[in-house]
Chain A
C-alpha cells in the first residue's frame, strides 16, 4: 500500500511538471517580435532567400528576431508547427491539406512559386504512363507528396483508377532519385522538380512523359506559405510584416533580375548561368497567387487521402490571399 501511494505521488508530480512546463512554452510564443520560419532546400523557395539577404523582414518589423529553419521534408515542417516551434512554413498544397484534414489549425497566407514538375523516364520505349509494366519502379519524394498526388491524378485520367501505379512507387529523396534514375538499376521513372528535373532531361536517353500541369489539367501553385492560427491571430503585426516583406521580395526579383541572380547564386552556391537558366525556365514564376487548392482538395477527398473538403475556400486561406481562380 505504501509502495502504491509512493508510485502515485511520483506520477502526480511528473504530471504536474509536464502540464506546467507546457504552459510556459506557450507563453513564450506570445512574444511579438519572434518569428520562426521553416522552408526546404530548392530554387522553388528563392523569394525567401531574397527576403533573408535583403533583410526585408528586419526592415518592416524593427527589432524582430527571426529564425530560419531549413528542414529535410514537409513532414518535419508540419511536426515543428504542431509542436509550436515554427510559426510559418512553406510546402506544397497536398501536405498542407493532409495537415488541415487532421485538425491542424493553420491556413495558407500566400503563394510562393510555380514550378514545372515532371515524370522523367530512362527507358526510350516508354512514351506515356500507359507503357509502364508491372516491373517498372517509379520514384517519388514521399507518399502524399505533390508528385504522388499528380501521378494519381494522371492515373485516374488514363486508367480510371488513381491507385493503379501505387504498388510500383518507391520513396527516394530528390538527389537519390536522380542517381537511381541514371544508374538504371532500380527505377525506370522519377517524378521530380527543378533543378533535378532539368539536370535529368539534359542527360541523353532521359525524357519526360508527364508534366504537372498535364496531370492536373491546369497550372497550380507549387509551394505555398502557411501560418498557424496562433501566429496569425496573436502576432498580427509580425504576420502582416512577413507578408509585406515577402511581396517586396517578389517585386524585387521581377525588377532586378541580374542582382537577384547574383544574390541567388551565392545563396545556392550555383553559377549565375545555372540560376538564370532556371529562372527563365518555362513554368517557373514567383508570385503570391494561390492556384489549385480546390482541385487538389477535391481529388484527395475523392480518393481517401483526406476525409473532408473545405466548405468554403476561406476555411483554408487567410483573408488577404490572392486567390487565383
Chain B
C-alpha cells in the first residue's frame, strides 16, 4: 500500500511539462471554441425566447433583427458619422486623461510630502462617480465635442493617476540604493529605474482607462449632444426602433473591444517582461 502511494505521489517533471503544453499544440482554436459555443448558445436561447413569444419583441428584439439592423446601418452615412464622433471623443479624452495623469502623478509621486498631501483627494475623486459631472461639463463646455472629451478625460484620469503614484512606490529598495551608489540624478533614477518599474501598474491603469473613456463619452452624449453613438441610441429608442438601438450597442461593444485590444497589444510590447516578474 505504502509502496504504491510512494510510486504514484511524485509526478515526474516530464509529465507536468507535457500536460502544460498540450493546449498550445492544438493552436488558438482549442482556446477559442468554448467562448464561441457559449455566445452561440446565449444568442440561440435569446432568439428562441423571442420567437416563442416569451418576451415582447418591441421591448427585446430577437438577435436576428438586431443583426439585420446592424448590417443595414453599415452603409448608412449617419452611422459612420456617429461612430467617428464617439471614437474621436473617446480617443482624444483617453489621450488627454492618460498624459495628464502620467505627468501629474509623476510630479506628485516624486515628492513624499506631495504624495501625502494629495493622496486623500485623489482617492476621493476616484471614489466619486465621475459621470455625475457630465451635466456640469455640459453647462461649462456646451453641446459640442469639448464637453464629451473633458468627460472622457476626467473619467480615465484618476485611475491612471492613482496607478502612476502607487507604481512609483513599488520600486525595489535595493535598486534605488544601487542607483544612488552610482550617483544617479533624480531624473536618471526616474528614467532608468522608476518609470520602467512602474510601467506594469501604469499600463494596468491605462487598459482600464480606455474602457472608461468610452463610457465617459457615451454618458456625456446622453446628457446633451447633437452627434455621436449615444445620441443615435437615444433617438432610435425614441422611434421605438429597439433593434436599431441594440445594433448600435453591439457596434459600441465591437469598437470598445478593438480599442482595448490595441491598448493591450501596446502593453504587451512595452511591458514585455510583465509575466516574468
A associates with B: no
Q: Chain A: residues with CB nearer than 8 A to chain B? A: none
